[in-house]
Chain A
Amino acid sequence: MTPRRKRPPFFYLRLFERLCKDELFEELQGDLEQEFNQNLRAFGERKARWIYRKEVLKMIRPSVIKKASNKFQSFNPTIMFKNYSLVAFRNIIRNKLFSSINIIGLSISMAVGLIAITFMTEINSYDKFHENGNQIYRVVSDIVRPNQPARGFATAPLLVGEELTNNFAGIDHVVTIQRSLYGSFEHNNDDFSATGIFTNNAFFDVFSFDMIQGNPSTALDDPSAVVLTESVAMKIFGRTDVLGETLNHSRYEQMMITGVVKDPPNNSHIKFEAIASTELLKARSSSLLTRWSQSTAGYTYVLIPEGYEVDRLQDNLDQISKAENDKFKSYEVHLGLEALLDIFPHTGKSNQFGIVMPSEIVNNIIILAAIVILSACFNYTNLSMARSLKRAKEVGVRKVVGARRGQLLVQFMTEAIVVSTLALFIAIMLFKIIRPEFLMLNLFIERTTNLALSGKIYLYFFFFATVVGALSGTIPALFMSKLKPTTIMKGVPAIKASKGIDLKKILTTAQFTLSMGFLILVTLVYKQYKFSLNYDLGFATENILNIETQGNDTELLRAAFTQIPEVSNISTSSMTASTGQYQSDYAKHDDALDSTYTLTFDVSPEYISNLGHQIVAGKSFSNELRKDHVVVTELLVKSLGISSNQEAVDEFIQFNGQSYSILGVVKDFQARTITSGLMTPFVFTSERQHSSMQLKISTDDIMNTMAKLESAWSEVDNKNSFKSIFYDDEIKRAYNNLSSSVKTYGFLAGIAVSISILGLLGMAVYTTESKGKELSIRKVLGASVASLVQLLSRSFMTIFVVSAALAIPTAYLIFKRTVAAESAYSIGIGFWELSAGAILIMIIALFTISSQTLKAAKSNPAERLRDD
């Protein structure tokens, strides 16, 4: 018996066969194979194979390999392209249902893609306009306190700037920015508020903010100097040539304008309306500039000269931090560097310069958009594969007439790209509708982006459409162009036996998993949102209107508002409970040694009754002002170790360095948002530093009452406008991030569901069409309508069950890991919360399928069979 013949490496053999010119293959492969066999005998199999592989790779030279152009374009390429597009359009028009399902599905998801593209382009453009952008770094800090994890900050102690310029050679351009220029400028008895920054002259050197008036190298020399932006200058003076004018500032008195600078562009993370000099802070001997412990005071930017190594600068910073940290016992600041172009979006540092997009939001948007787009691509792939059975004859005829595989490939790809380009036009329209909604999604998106369209972005759009088309068209194109005329002639069953069917099932399952997952998530998040809003906070918020006092005297305001009959009760406080604001302290009971963590709150005597807090022991504040009285919650009594609420009355507790006597005990209530913490012990004090006012309103005509309140306000304060919000709305605002999650997931769920249902409709139409004959025969033989519907729906049912099995646990985990993990109290999750979404989709899906199957099952078999 002879051993099995050893053959050259199969892959390389096939590769060579593909690449080599047909007329050369016989000679060259013959030579290679003869040599392979000689080597096999001389050196053994391993080496022979190795030599063969090397030989094949060295065959890749122009004189041996086929010319690519021969393969695809044997005719004039433009004519062929024209023909492909024509065929594509004809096919789109002929199959109106399939084409519209594809185009609608693609355009919805592409609209999301367009949002993501515009959004990304905008995010990426941040801070790119600075000429020296690549050499600018920001000094950032990690603050370490004992027993606490280090926290990263975008800020650094401002003294670093001076240290760097004075004590280290080579660093000349250091900008320190302090962000607390608030207040207003007075001009002709009008007030113009402008927020801004304190910085030094290097600011104009390092950054590319162009000055249109004034000398950038001296503008900030003087403590009273101020540089305005163009738009602020226009607002105050109505012109920009305002050099040398003086303005009265509400906090810094007389200031002289030494420059006018262009408004910072939208895509600058540094934003300002006015620039004052750091000298002004120095003149006021601000501790911000000199104290190491003021580590969050401001921002330091360094322009690294060319040839200067970043590591060297880091070494310098390490030296500074070491020297300074040695002066403190339990407080360390470690300085680091962050490239200017890495600042936006930020990766988790606190205390950013204004509103900086967190990178998770950016990542989430990309991931979600990709998911939605893929889902629509699956639709196209699925429907085209399904239809490929119908188009197989077309492929067969084309091949017989002489079309090559490459040409067919190009034809089917062209078709996909034509569809995606058509979808693009609808997507651009949809984009314009969704844009305002998207911009309102959350604070970061609202404040930092505007999704403006430009020529460049349109170019990206077209590129994107091509990619989407190619992505969704590849599989069907490969599949259809591969069909052999002989197989096609044998009929549909022969084609069906191929792998394409399994792929369709997988893609449909993926789609339904996504839709179900999103729908379950949106159910859970929405429930959590409602749960948070309706959570029993332990006090009454109905009909309470919160008013910001904006620095006005509370007694004056109170006097003005009491005049209005609809206002039944007025109280004031230092902040608003349950909306995220809080103030904490450690309280001690006289006897006990250890202290307990508590939240505190300054209120007026009426507050407790106005907000419906229930007194369980003792009494509430009386109108007589006693600053050493407090009202506490039951939880505080318990955590201080006092045996009963009654006992606690008239006991003394200490916090804030003072002793207070307990006047009364109220029921526990939720003083922080329920997402941010569990119920905590609480103390009401009666200090009088109140910035918030609660009016209990009883009225049927809210508009009228608001008008009255506004006019009462303007009697007291005619500079600032009346700012009020109902307590319930303020609580709603505190859960804004949840409601934006509900909106996002809801929107995506809507898209994913509609895309997959569209796809399912297409598949159902196809299945019933292709099985029409089978159904008719079954019917003739006596099958009932019900059994036929069941027959058609069975394969879909498996898909739904598998999708639900995948989607439910995934959605549950995502909810637990994200939303529930951020919330101290979360909803109980039961069967219905999890399965409602899945069941809803199944019902819609079954309805969709049965609309087709019923029609087919009910049709008269004679009609269908007559043609054969």
Chain B
Amino acid sequence: MKGTHLGEFQEVVLLVILALEENAFGVTIKQEIKEKVNRDISRGALHTALTRLSEKGFITSEQGEANEDRGGRRKRYYTVTNRGVAALHGAKALRDQLWGQIPRLKLYPDYDS
């Protein structure tokens, strides 16, 4: 098992897969990232991220159906594992903890309390 560190982009990909629920495969993930996160990434870059995530055991995948648009080639659907969900929680907790440590004044300097 490789290290369990969750990179920033990988975290985005995990969240997007979860958000897409049953319909998470290459094309939809890429489009979701473009639309919601406003990042235009290549399919190659996405592939790298997906490979890393499955190496860490955060996602699993299974082959799906084919269609005409794909030249008869089958899709691969991705789902987030429990370990992946845990990693997301861990990442969020880490952030929340850090947010909590920061004096309010520094985060909202213009906000008159």
A-B contact pairs, 17 of them (CB 8 A): A27-B76, A28-B26, A28-B47, A29-B71, A30-B71, A31-B43, A31-B70, A33-B73, A34-B69, A35-B43, A37-B69, A54-B42, A58-B43, A59-B44, A61-B47, A63-B47, A64-B47
Which residues does B use to contact A, with CB under 8 Å?
25-27, 30, 42-45, 47-48, 51, 66-67, 69-71, 73-76
Q: A694–B59 Cα gap in the complex (Å)?
A: 106
Q: A61–B42 Cα gap in the complex (Å)?
A: 12
List residues of chain A with CB within 8 A of the CB of B70: 30-31, 33-34
Which residues does A use to contact B, with CB under 8 Å?
24, 26-35, 37-38, 54-55, 58-61, 63-64
Which partner residue on chain A sits nearest B55 by CB separation?
A63
List residues of chain B with CB within 8 A of the CB of A32: 43
Most chain A CB within a 10 A radius of its CB, from B42, B44, B47 = B44
Contact A31 B69 (CB under 8 A): no
Contact B27 A61 (CB under 8 A): no
Q: A55-B43, A58-B45 are in contact. Are A26 and B74 (CB under 8 A)?
A: yes
Q: A61–B73 Cα gap in the complex (Å)?
A: 22
Contact B47 A33 (CB under 8 A): no
List residues of chain B with CB within 8 A of the CB of A37: 69
List residues of chain A with CB within 8 A of the CB of B51: 63
Most chain A CB within a 10 A radius of its CB, from B26, B67, B71 = B71
Q: A26–B47 Cα gap in the complex (Å)?
A: 13
Q: A375–B93 Cα gap in the complex (Å)?
A: 75
Name the one of A29, A60, A64 contacting B73, with C-beta atoms under 8 angstroms. A29
List residues of chain B with CB within 8 A of the CB of A54: 42
Contact A63 B48 (CB under 8 A): yes
List residues of chain B with CB within 8 A of the CB of A24: 47
Interface pairs A-B: 9 shortest CB-CB: A30-B73, A31-B26, A58-B42, A30-B70, A59-B44, A58-B44, A27-B76, A33-B71, A34-B70
Q: A63–B47 Cα gap in the complex (Å)?
A: 8
Q: A64–B76 Cα gap in the complex (Å)?
A: 16
Q: A63–B48 Cα gap in the complex (Å)?
A: 6
Name the one of B26, B48, B74 contacting A61, with C-beta atoms under 8 angstroms. B48
Q: A27-B74, A55-B43 are in contact. Are A34 and B48 (CB under 8 A)?
A: no
List residues of chain A with CB within 8 A of the CB of B44: 55, 58-61, 64
List residues of chain A with CB within 8 A of the CB of B25: 31
Q: A429–B73 Cα gap in the complex (Å)?
A: 62
Which partner residue on chain A sits nearest B45 by CB separation?
A58
Contact A27 B73 (CB under 8 A): yes
Q: A27–B75 Cα gap in the complex (Å)?
A: 6
List residues of chain A with CB within 8 A of the CB of B43: 28, 31-32, 35, 55, 58-59
Q: A63–B46 Cα gap in the complex (Å)?
A: 11
Give, as a whole number of angstroms, the nearest-CB distance from B34 to chain A: 11
Q: A58-B45, A63-B51 are in contact. Are A31 and B71 (CB under 8 A)?
A: no
Which partner residue on chain B sits nearest A62 by CB separation?
B48
List residues of chain A with CB within 8 A of the CB of B75: 27, 30-31
Q: A785–B25 Cα gap in the complex (Å)?
A: 74
Q: A58-B43, A59-B44 are in contact. Are A30 and B30 (CB under 8 A)?
A: no
Contact B48 A35 (CB under 8 A): no
Name the one of B27, B45, B47, B74 contacting A35, with C-beta atoms under 8 angstroms. B27
List residues of chain B with CB within 8 A of the CB of A58: 42-45
Contacts A28-B47, A60-B44 given; 6 further ones with Cβ under 8 A?
A24-B47, A30-B75, A33-B69, A35-B30, A58-B44, A58-B45
Q: A467–B70 Cα gap in the complex (Å)?
A: 45
Give, as a whole number of angstroms, the nearest-CB distance from B76 to chain A: 4
Give, as a whole number of angstroms, the nearest-CB distance from B36 to chain A: 17
Q: A60–B47 Cα gap in the complex (Å)?
A: 11
List residues of chain B with CB within 8 A of the CB of A64: 44, 47-48
List residues of chain B with CB within 8 A of the CB of A61: 44-45, 47-48
Give, as a whole number of angstroms, the nearest-CB distance from B64 to chain A: 10
List residues of chain B with CB within 8 A of the CB of A63: 47-48, 51
Which partner residue on chain A sits nearest B76 by CB separation?
A27
Most chain A CB within a 10 A radius of its CB, from B25, B30, B47, B75 = B47
Q: A33–B47 Cα gap in the complex (Å)?
A: 15
Which partner residue on chain A sits nearest B25 by CB separation?
A31
Q: A338–B85 Cα gap in the complex (Å)?
A: 74
Q: A29–B26 Cα gap in the complex (Å)?
A: 10
List residues of chain A with CB within 8 A of the CB of B42: 54-55, 58-59
List residues of chain A with CB within 8 A of the CB of B71: 29-30, 33
Q: A31–B26 Cα gap in the complex (Å)?
A: 6
Q: A764–B45 Cα gap in the complex (Å)?
A: 58
Q: A32–B45 Cα gap in the complex (Å)?
A: 13
Q: A59–B43 Cα gap in the complex (Å)?
A: 7
Most chain B CB within a 10 A radius of its CB, from A24, A31, A37 = A31
Contact B26 A27 (CB under 8 A): yes
List residues of chain B with CB within 8 A of the CB of A55: 42-44
Q: A64–B42 Cα gap in the complex (Å)?
A: 13
Which partner residue on chain B sits nearest A65 by CB separation?
B44
Q: A26–B72 Cα gap in the complex (Å)?
A: 9
List residues of chain A with CB within 8 A of the CB of B67: 34
Give, as a whole number of angstroms, the nearest-CB distance from B79 to chain A: 15
Give, as a whole number of angstroms, the nearest-CB distance from B110 to chain A: 41
List residues of chain A with CB within 8 A of the CB of B69: 33-34, 37-38
Q: A30–B48 Cα gap in the complex (Å)?
A: 17
List residues of chain B with CB within 8 A of the CB of A31: 25-27, 30, 43, 70, 75
Contact B48 A26 (CB under 8 A): no
Which partner residue on chain A sits nearest B48 by CB separation?
A63
Q: A528–B51 Cα gap in the complex (Å)?
A: 77
Which partner residue on chain A sits nearest B71 by CB separation?
A33
List residues of chain B with CB within 8 A of the CB of A30: 26, 66, 70-71, 73-75
Give, as a whole number of angstroms, the nearest-CB distance from A11 to chain B: 16
Q: A29–B70 Cα gap in the complex (Å)?
A: 8
List residues of chain A with CB within 8 A of the CB of B48: 61, 63-64
Q: A30–B66 Cα gap in the complex (Å)?
A: 8
Q: A63–B55 Cα gap in the complex (Å)?
A: 12
List residues of chain B with CB within 8 A of the CB of A35: 27, 30, 43
Give, as a whole number of angstroms, the nearest-CB distance from B13 to chain A: 14
Q: A34–B76 Cα gap in the complex (Å)?
A: 13
Which partner residue on chain B sits nearest A40 by CB separation?
B69
List residues of chain A with CB within 8 A of the CB of B47: 24, 28, 59, 61, 63-64
Give, as a whole number of angstroms, the nearest-CB distance from A25 to chain B: 8
Q: A26–B63 Cα gap in the complex (Å)?
A: 10
Give, as a whole number of angstroms, the nearest-CB distance from B58 to chain A: 16
List residues of chain B with CB within 8 A of the CB of A27: 26, 73-76
Q: A38–B28 Cα gap in the complex (Å)?
A: 12
Which partner residue on chain A sits nearest B67 by CB separation?
A34
Q: A59–B42 Cα gap in the complex (Å)?
A: 8
Q: A29–B73 Cα gap in the complex (Å)?
A: 8
Which partner residue on chain B sits nearest A41 by CB separation?
B69
Give, as a whole number of angstroms, the nearest-CB distance from B33 to chain A: 13
Q: A63–B53 Cα gap in the complex (Å)?
A: 13
Give, as a whole number of angstroms, the nearest-CB distance from B52 to chain A: 8
Most chain A CB within a 10 A radius of its CB, from B30, B42, B51 = B42
Give, as a whole number of angstroms, the nearest-CB distance from A32 to chain B: 6
